Structure 1
Amino acid sequence: MRGKRTVTGAAVAAGALAVAGLAFAPTAAAVTPQTATITASCGIFGGGSATLTATQSGTSATMTLTSSAISAPVAVAQDSISSTLTLVKAGGGTTAFSGTKNPAMATGDPVSVGPLSGTVASGDSLEAYGGSLKMVIFGVTVTCTATAPQSPGPFVFD
């Protein structure tokens, strides 16, 4: 009976050490860079500098776009813009991030959409140049495209 308690105690201690090790392990940034800047053209709706912010958790990723240079064409309610951000993969093809997340915006306010959800694979390298952002606002589609590669470079996912 005594041997059984010792083995059980050792197993519990080993498990506690493993859990403590995981709790204090440093977390790595899953995507690099986490932010990038693009210059976008949205046709008659304007254009200019915009910031893309990326996050990743496993194969799930999100993208958020904010721009003080691109303004809302009309007042919109929170979570009322249907958006799809399409990024180009380095090896060919595209990856889409979509959703209906946005803050409430008055006419002329800076545009912000996201977080938009998508799926990525380890090693994916995604770039806005060659892709697009399509926003459907009250049935009107606004399409924005990057006019040059993003800076500092493509998003690379772990």
Structure 2
Amino acid sequence: MRHGKLGKALGSALAVGAALVGTLAMAPAAGAVDPDTATLGFDCGTYGKGTATLTATQDGTAATISVSTSAVTAPIDVAANSVKSTLTLTKNGSGTATFSGSSNPKIPSGGAVSTGPLTGTVASGDKLEATSLKVVVFGITATCKATGPQDPGPFVF
């Protein structure tokens, strides 16, 4: 008699396990942002013009974007984690989203500014395309405007 109850319990546990595995296999992958890298041009006024590479990642509703741009170069050596940046993006064609942070690698004199990861929040299906970048180095603010659309297109989270 005990073997019958044990067999039923084991069979039920196996069935539940199989159902969970099937559900997990059909769930979308976390962190799916497409494309994960895009380029665009920035005009930073008196600070320069150039291209930027944006790299995006996602973990649930948290997202990060790292920026490397030749539009702004360091006049002198810049210590790590001393550049404050805010990236503004159009959200779904009409709203805006901002990603900000103070992370950067050490930047040598004359080197292109790299900043990030800049953090922000996204929802599934959000389409984000960069429109401007504000970089603050040594208390000096450079505001950059996108000169065209991202290539190959907006980030879709």
Q: TM-score range by the shorter chain?
A: 0.7 to 0.9
Q: Distance in 1 between matches of 2:79 and 2:119?
A: 20
How many residues align? The count is 155
User: RMSD over aligned Cα, in angstroms?
Assistant: 2.5
Matched, 1:111 2:117: no
Greater Rg by CA: 2
Which residue is equivalent to 2:102? 100
Looking at structure 2, the residues matched to 100 and 72 of structure 1 have their Cα atoms a distance apart, in angstroms, of 15
CA contact (8 A) 1:45 1:73 kept: no
Are positions 1:133 and 2:115 aligned together?
no
In 1, are the aligned partners of 2:31 and 2:59 still within 8 Å (CA)? no
Using the TM superposition, give the Cα deviation of residue 13 of structure 1 relative to its aligned residue in structure 2, in angstroms.
3.4
User: Compared with structure 1, are the counterparts of its residues 29 and 61 closer, same or farther at alpha carbon in structure 2 (3 Å cutoff)?
Assistant: closer
- 1:108-156 CA-to-partner distances (Å, cap 9, x unmatched) read 112111111100112211111xx21111112111111111111111111
Aligned-partner residue type, residue 149 of structure 2: P
Shift of residue 20, structure 1, vs aligned partner: 9.2
- Cα offset, 1:26, TM superposition: 8.3
What is the TM-score when the length of structure 2 is the normalising length? Answer: 0.85
Q: 1:20 to 1:74 in 2, by over 3 A?
A: farther
Aligned partner of residue 75 in structure 2, secondary structure = coil
| Aligned partners of 1:62 and 1:117 also within 8 Å | yes
1:56 and 1:7, CA in 2 relative to 1: closer, same or farther beyond 3 A?
A: same
Per-residue displacement from partner, 1:26-53 (whole Å, max 9, x unpaired)?
Answer: 8476111111110111122212111111
Q: Distance in 2 between matches of 1:21 and 1:91?
A: 33
- For structure 1, list consecutive stretches of 5 or more residues without a partner in the other structure: none
The reply on whether 1:7 has 2:8 as its aligned counterpart is yes
SS across alignment from 1:106: coil
Give the direction of change, closer, same or farther, for the CA distance of 1:64–1:26 in structure 2 (3 Å limit): same
Q: Greater shift after overlay, 52-61 or 26-35?
A: 26-35
Counterpart CA distance in 2 for 1:42 and 1:7 is 70
Q: 1: distance between equivalents of 2:117 and 2:71? A: 19
What residue identity is the alignment partner of 1:13? L
After TM superposition, the structure 1 stretch with the greater mean CA deviation from structure 2, 60-69 or 98-107, is 60-69
Q: Which runs of 5+ in 2 are unaligned?
A: none
> Cα gap change, 1:151/1:4 in structure 2, threshold over 3 Å: closer, same or farther?
same
Cα distance in 2 for residues equivalent to 1:109 and 1:118: 26
Report the residue type matching 1:64 in the other structure. Answer: S
Correspondences of 1:4-153 after superposition (within 5 Å): 4-14=5-15, 17=18, 18=20, 22=24, 27=29, 30-68=32-70, 70-128=72-130, 131-153=131-153
